[in-house]
Chains A and B, each alone.
Chain A
Amino acid sequence: MKNKRFAIVLDTRRCIDCKACTVACKAENNVPLGRDNHRNWVTEEPLRGSYPNLGQSFTPGQCMQCGNTPCERVCPTRATGVNQDGIVTVEEKKCIGCKYCMTACPYNARYYNEEIEAVDKCTFCAHRVYSGRLPACVETCPTKVRVFGDLNDPQSEVSKLLAKNPHRVLKPEMGTKPYLFYLI
């Protein structure tokens, strides 16, 4: 979509590690069963403190829809592309299964989908977004960890959240310019 730059802002303090996002994503996008097969995930950070005063944080993640895309750069057949709105895509019929994009992604956001016979990953549920709906993970999250929207619109919730709150991205040192922002 022209003149848009989609992003997700996450408030990880709200995450309860229920993994509803992963389940919703799998159901929405026909992700095959299997340990390796997932478009999004929840990283369980190490336990803090000592018993009985324990704490733990969780960091949900998915394809970061990077502004500087190593996956697109390395794909020999241009199977991986980037839409005008920043959504990183995989054109199934062009994917040769070399898995170069998987080694290039610093977030391990890609997997090989045996059913569609191509590398697969989160697309922000582009099919839903382009018909005016929210990504499945955003819609399903019971504690509203994720907020989805257009960063080019200063009135969008994502723009406002980032304007108001300090935030970070994962692995900034990689220079990938991710569009998943984590509130601090």
Chain B
Amino acid sequence: MTTLALPKRPGEILWFGLLGAGMLAGAVAVAMVLVKGHAHVYNVTREIPWGILISTYVFFVVSSTGLCLVSSLGDVWGFEKFEIIGRRGHLLAILTLVTGFGTMAMELNHPIRMGIYAIISPNFTSAIWWMGALYGLYLVLLICEFTFLMLGNRRLAFISGLLGFFAAITAHSNLGAVFGLLEARHYWYGSFMPIYFILSALVSGGALTALIVYFNHKARGRELSPKYAEFMLTMGKLQALFLGILMFFVVWKIIPGLYGQPPEKYEATMALINGPLAVNFWFFEVLIGMLIPFLILVNPKTRTVFGVMFAGMMTTIGIFFMRYDLVIAGQLVPMREDSARGAHGLLSYFPSLAEIAIVIGAIAVCLFLYTLAEKIFDLEGGHRH
């Protein structure tokens, strides 16, 4: 372990300043929630009870699963090129998961009560109960794997990594099931969600992996070694494949929502195509999140180290909107006719300032913890150059 060093470069001071401002904004919002209560601070309603905090939670845990799956390619599945991101990937997977839990805790009205009654009064038919149990197990396995990677114990890292890999898939597909098992919400209902969640996690993980490799070198003012540069290019190719499959999935998510205009599913799908979520969908999800990154990554001329990072950054932004759109679209169709108040006969939701501040705070906390961890832990391991 290295000693905790104070920021030395102006860029680093600015970075910590930004994160500090973000965390402060989040802390103020959290204080407001604790003092005034959810109803006065959040914009969620009776009809749309799940808002941006739930979608941000999903975004974080998708990131965690994705980072775990992509990082496992090296330690578990033997792709040597991926071993260099094992420690960083698993560390960030832990941090994104914990931040996700934190965001969820802010959305829940009784996070402490949850800890008690999930244990003494569990309901095994509830996907949320399984979500807690499986993500808890996943977190333990992630911590084990990270510890063994840090200790250089390859055998135990492999075993915990393999278990963690399956825990990640189980937990994350179950998160898809939290939505997919709601018969009342036609937009979500079905077996598509659990599968879609896993696939989109791979895209998320690939994007974040490219970002951490690039910025860890950039922030330290170091050139990428050939090994890292080669990794980035391989990651770029893999990410192009993941994005290609994701686009295929998105097309098949849309078509059944339009074909034959199935009640409620059609209205929710149209909210994305030509309704209140259209800008989010076409601009952020499709263009920024998938199409441009895909074009950057399939073209060998633009699939450079910078290109792979840039595509990763765009995809990460796109995925954030993808989560938001998914969570909100599923609730826009009113369960009772008299509830519709907005255009298109749909309900409306826009996050409150406090909700947005908590999201910014959560992102800042995650990045702060990661930056700090980079200073505390030796994340290069046996791959120092």
- Chain A interface (Cβ < 8 Å from any Cβ of B): 34-37, 41, 43-45, 61, 70, 73-79, 93-100, 102-108, 110-112, 114, 117, 174-175
With most chain B CB atoms within 10 A of its CB, the pick from A41, A94, A114 is A94
Give A81 to B208 CA distance when docked, in angstroms: 43
Contacts of B185 in A (CB 8 A): 103
Quote the shortest CB–CB distance from B94 to chain A (angstroms).
23
Contact with A along B205-219 (1 / 0, CB 8 A): 000000000000000
Binds A, one of B116-124, B167-175, B278-286: B116-124
A97-B109, A111-B46 in contact; A74/B337 too (CB < 8 A)?
Answer: no
Contacts of B331 in A (CB 8 A): 103
A104 lies within 8 A of B182 (CB): yes
Interface membership of B272, Cβ < 8 A:
no
A103 lies within 8 A of B128 (CB): no
Give A138 to B37 CA distance when docked, in angstroms: 34
Contacts of A110 in B (CB 8 A): 46
B336 lies within 8 A of A108 (CB): yes
Q: Tell me the number of A-to-B contacts counted with CB atoms below 8 Å.
A: 117
Contacts of A104 in B (CB 8 A): 182-184
Interface membership of B39, Cβ < 8 A:
yes
A77 lies within 8 A of B184 (CB): no
Contact pick for B108, options A45, A75, A98, A114, CB 8 Å: A98
Contact with A along B101-115 (1 / 0, CB 8 A): 000000011110110
15 sample A-B contacts, Cβ–Cβ < 8 Å, listed by A number: A36-B45, A75-B123, A76-B114, A77-B114, A78-B122, A78-B123, A79-B121, A96-B108, A96-B110, A96-B117, A98-B108, A104-B183, A108-B334, A108-B339, A175-B183
Contacts of B128 in A (CB 8 A): 74, 76, 98, 100
Give A32 to B37 CA distance when docked, in angstroms: 14
Interface membership of B335, Cβ < 8 A:
yes
Give A102 to B128 CA distance when docked, in angstroms: 13
Contact pick for B338, options A41, A99, A105, CB 8 Å: A41
Contact pick for A73, options B38, B50, B122, B125, CB 8 Å: B125
Interface membership of B302, Cβ < 8 A:
no
Contacts of B49 in A (CB 8 A): 99, 102-103, 112
Give A41 to B182 CA distance when docked, in angstroms: 23
With most chain A CB atoms within 10 A of its CB, the pick from B47, B128, B330 is B128
B111 lies within 8 A of A96 (CB): yes
A94 lies within 8 A of B183 (CB): no
Contacts of B182 in A (CB 8 A): 70, 74, 103-104
Contacts of B109 in A (CB 8 A): 95-97, 112, 117
A36 lies within 8 A of B335 (CB): no
Give A79 to B118 CA distance when docked, in angstroms: 10
Contacts of B39 in A (CB 8 A): 34, 112, 114
Contact pick for B110, options A61, A74, A97, A102, CB 8 Å: A97
- The chain A residue sitting closest to B111, CB to CB, is A96
Quote the shortest CB–CB distance from A14 to chain B (angstroms).
19
Give A103 to B117 CA distance when docked, in angstroms: 20
Contacts of A111 in B (CB 8 A): 46
Top 10 A-B residue pairs of the complex, sorted by shortest distance between their CB atoms: A97-B109, A77-B117, A106-B184, A99-B49, A36-B46, A108-B335, A76-B129, A96-B114, A76-B128, A76-B126
B113 lies within 8 A of A96 (CB): yes
B50 lies within 8 A of A103 (CB): yes
B184 lies within 8 A of A174 (CB): yes
- The chain B residue sitting closest to A36, CB to CB, is B46
